[in-house]
Structure formats: structure tokens, C-alpha cells
Amino acid sequence: MSGSDIAIDDQKRAADSWIDDHADEVSQWHETIWAFAEPAWREYRSSAWYVARLRAEGFTVEEGSAGMPTAFAARWSNGPGPTLLAYAEYDAVPGNCQAASTRREPRAGLSRSAPGHTDPHSALGISSLAAVLATKAAMTEYGISGTIVYTGEPAEKVCGSKVVHGVHGYYDGIDAIVSFHPFYMLPLCNTVRWDTHCGAYYSKIYSFVCDDPETWGELDNSPIAAAHSAARAPGADAALTTMWALTKTSQDSMAAATGGWSLSEAILTAGQATADNLPAGLAQIQYSWRTPDLATAERIGQILDSNARLAASSAHCEVKERWVSRNRPGLANHELAEVTWENMQRVGPPTWDEEARGIANELREELGVSAIAQPFLAETESLIDPWIAEAQLRALLPAWQTNWTSDDYVEMTWYAPTVRLYVARPALSREGFTSPIPAWAMNALGGIPSTINPTIRCAAKVIAGTLLDLFSDVERLTRAQSEWRERRTGGPTESLLPASFTAPIDYRWPEYVTTERGHEWWIPQSSEF
């Protein structure tokens, strides 16, 4: 073993020690973010917590980066050298409010309609934060030169922030990016992505506006002006429902039924109510579509635009369109994947102790199945070689398909060499179950310290080791950058959105509010739900 090998091993041991020594503190950090559970674009307390923590650790932090109030961009430098980026996500999902409990129950004072962490992004962010702080400690101790950039990425559930940070230059000058996500589907468990990265994700809001309902017809045959029996414009609600129906009718004809593409919709709260003899003036619907390639994404978008125009015309409305996100498919980077995989092999998979197993068995019994000796999914406590995971994934896909499913880290891959790391989150074994395990049980495991902490510790050590390797081994970093430049050739090297693009933060996204009733989820709690 060379002197440089000994040095990097010492650096990694120092980072590991920082993570172990601060384990209780890091766990408390996670509990804080998990309990905040704020939804997309409205993660005010979560982002403020990260900003304060990073400043306390010596980082220079820009709040509200790229015009996004709940985003941030932090930087710490130890002299000239590579600039490496990691990031936090911290948005939660409405309708998934779950206590850190082995029973199905919302967090205190809230209804199940409130948000909760599902993936969980709380663990994603705290793992990467612990990693960069451990890396900083090792860099300081061993005099390692370089710069850490750490960004706060809100609204991942609508793939919202990364395209905005990218188009406004926040990833310019970055030498490499480490992207981490807790595992959520096999075979991508305790491994890194190899060739088949996530595909394109497009999301757009269509707003139907009926500002001039009085011009609907030339004649009003009612004996009394504006009587209930008078003819009136169909209005915005009619336009929305017409587009919804048109899209359902035409969805099977939008693209070939291969490649695993999908389309989903969400009707947004318009914030208005009208009398029964007045047409709705505003209605909004958001469509989001995941595709393995840009050509399919564009084709679906063209049909949606056509449906929107037809629907607006039929209901005497105008239609306004606004992008939420428009991401390019991801680029692989084998050099970075190999560096990260070496660190995953060094650290090993997460493991769960007797306390965690006891909690898992409590959940099993709550769900009506018996306790077993190994209550966690076996794959969560083992590594899978990236090449084996790739082969298993490719066996399910057409030979022509180069990308699969979606996540907005893919936009980062066009700005710098990027690795995608997966570490297992706690998941119950299927043994004994005859029906799907409910989502609330998985969400609960993501909030109970003894079950989620192994994921956080493992991921933090793998990320820190990868960052230290890239700071210390300039040759590997150079090879990663050369590979990245080659893979970018011939692709859409410019963002799919204009340089003037701003995040759609002004829509009526759901959020927590404080009223005379106190702090609550803005959809009022009811006795029915």
C-alpha cells in the first residue's frame, strides 16, 4: 500500500469517526426535519434550519437561491482544488401524515391529509449534510484543498428546483456531483446506477381563464337580465373537465405502449367560489409525464397543448401555460460510479439491530402477520454489484431504451459528472403478507430513529468517502470529466427551459398556516378524515 493510499484511508477513518461521534446529534437533526414535513415550494422551516446549521459550521450560505424562497446554496473552501457538490432535499408529500409509530396515526394535531416524508427526503438531506460536515472535518485535519458546494433543493416531488438552479448558473464550475437517494425499488438497493439512469420528466400547469363570460352569446333571451335561466358561458370549470376527458380519451394514442412512460394529473385549488348563476373564472390542472426519451416527452406535450386549446375554445376561455419542470434524461458516468461503489464496499450495507427488528415486528403484528426472526427485506442488508443490478434492470426493458423512470437529479448530469447512489431504507420482509404492505408502514419506518438511523450513517460514510477520493485523486476526477464531455456530445447541451425561467412558486401550492386556531395544515381537519 502506497503512502497516498494510507493517507486517504486515514482521511476516510477521520470522516467515519466524525459521523460515529455525532450520531446522536445527526439523529436529532433528522427527527427535526422529518417532523417539519413541509410540502413542495413551502419548506420554510426546513430550509431555514439547514441555512442556520450550515452557517454555524462555517459555510457561506445564500438563502433563496435562484429566486426560490426555500432553496439555498452553501459553500466552504479550504483553498484551491476541486469543487464538489452534494445536496439536500426536504419536501414531503401531502396526504401522507404519519407519526413515528407502529400504528396508523397522523402526527399530533394534524389529519392524515397533511404531508409526511415518504421516500424519505428527510433522510436524504441529513445523510448528505452529515457527509459534507464529516468531509470538511477530514479536510481540515489533513490539509486537503478544495471547495464543497452544498445546495438545498426544494420541491423534488415536482422535479422543481434543480432545473432552476441549473439554468441560473448554480452548477457552473462544479467538477463532480454526488447524488444520493434512499432505496425504494429493487434491484437498486445498496448500489450505484451504472448505464440506465432516469429519463425525462415534464410538468406543466394549464390555467383556464374566463374573463369575459358576457360575450359568450350575442342574444340573451331571458326576460330579466342575468336571470338564472339566461344563457351563460360554460366557464373555466367546464374547460378543465373537458381537457381532462379529452386527455383520458387520447392518452393511449399519445405514444407507443412501450418504454414505461406515464402521465398523471392534479387539479389545483383555484382559490375561488362563484354563485350558481356565474361561470367559474379560473380553473387549473397540472399534468406531469415521465418518459424514457425526449421525443416521447415532446409528443405527449404537443397533444396536451392541443387538448388544452380545444377545451378552452369549447368553454369560452383562454388558456395559459406554464412549465413547472422540463428535465433532460440522465447521463451515466462509470468513473464516478466505480469510485462510489468502492466506498460502498468499504462501508458495507446498513444493518438493523434488535431494537429495530423489534419495531419491525410490532409493525408486522399491527398489520396482521406474525413476527419473524428477520423482519426486514433481505436485500436491505446486502450489497448488489452495479453490473448485476444493471443486468437485472435491463432484463425488464426493451433493448432500445436507454433511460427509465424519473428523478430530477438527471438535470445535474448535464452540468458536471454525476454519480447516483442508493442506500437501503428500512423495508419490511414480504414473508407472511398476502397483500401489498401499506405505504403508512414504510413511512413510519422512515421516521423511527432506530430504523432510519442505519440508512443515514451508511449513506453519510459512503458519500464522505467518495468526496475525499475525488478531492485526493485528481487523475480519477479528470477521467470522470473526460467521460462526461464525451457522453454530452450530440445531446441537448442547453437547458430545455429559457435562461429567464423562474420557479412557479406563486401558485396555490398547499402549505401549513397559522391562524387564530393555531398552526395547522391548510386543508381543515374534519371528523370524517
Domain boundary among 277, 292, 327: 327
The whole-angstrom separation of Cα 204 and Cα 265 is: 10
Dist CA 349 CA 385 (whole Å): 12
Output the nine-digit C-alpha cell for 290: 415521465
Using CA of residue 103, residue 108, residue 113, residue 119, what is the dihedral sign? negative
Q: What is the DSSP string of 47-80?
A: HHHHHHHHHHTT-EEEETGGG-TT-EEEEEESSS
Domain that includes residue 316, residue range: 201-216+231-327
Same domain, 393 and 305: no
Q: Is residue 511 part of a domain?
A: no
Instruction: At 365, list the grid cell.
Output: 403484528
Examine residue 492 and state whether it is found in any structural domain, yes or no.
no
Asked, for residue 59, whether it belongs to a domain, the answer is yes
Note whether 314 and 402 are same-domain residues: no
Q: Do 282 and 362 belong to one domain?
A: no
User: Within the chain, which residues score under 50 in pLDDT?
Assistant: 1-2
Strand partners for 205? 286, 322
346 and 429 belong to one structural domain = yes
The model carries a pTM of 0.95
Q: Is residue 452 domain-shared with residue 402, that is, in the same domain?
A: yes
Note whether 262 and 367 are same-domain residues. no
CA distance 76 to 132: 10
Do 31 and 163 belong together in one domain? yes
Taking the C-alpha atoms of residue 381 and residue 352, their distance in angstroms, rounded to an integer, is 8
Whether 95 is in a domain gets the answer: yes
Q: Judging by DSSP bridges, how do beta strands 176-182 and 200-209 pair with one another?
A: unpaired
Residues 408 and 453 in one domain: yes
Q: Could you say which of 312, 327, 342 is where a domain stops?
A: 327
Q: Cell 426472526: give the residue.
A: 373
Instruction: Give the residue among 210, 182, 174, 147 at the shortest CA–CA distance from 407.
Output: 182
Whole-angstrom CA distances from 293 to 263, 327, 328, 402, 416 are 14, 10, 8, 8, 20
527 falls within a domain: no
Q: Is residue 263 a part of any domain in this protein?
A: yes
Are 467 and 334 members of one domain? yes
143: in domain? yes
Separation between Cα atoms, residue 91 and residue 437, nearest integer Å? 23
277 and 357 part of one domain: no
* Long-range residue pairs from 383-388, CB within 8 A, at least 24 positions apart, any chain: 383/190, 383/191, 383/344, 383/345, 383/348, 383/349, 384/187, 384/189, 384/190, 384/191, 385/191, 385/341, 386/191, 386/192, 386/193, 386/194, 386/337, 386/341, 387/194, 388/187
β-partners of residue 521 are 512
507 in a structural domain:
no
Consecutive H or E run containing 470: helix 449-472
DSSP string, 344-361: HHHH------HHHHHHHH
C-alpha cell at 35: 417532523
314 and 362 together in one domain: no
Report how many domains make up the chain.
Answer: 2
Rg (CA), the chain: 25
DSSP β-bridge partners for residue 72: 63, 152
The enclosing domain of 334 has a CATH number of 3.40.630.10
Task: Identify which of 174, 123, 165, 150 has the alpha carbon closest to the alpha carbon of residue 422.
Answer: 123
Here the CATH number for the domain that contains residue 208 is: 3.30.70.360
Final residue in a domain of this structure, among 485, 502, 519: 485
Looking at the structure, tell me whether residues 311 and 345 fall in a common domain.
no
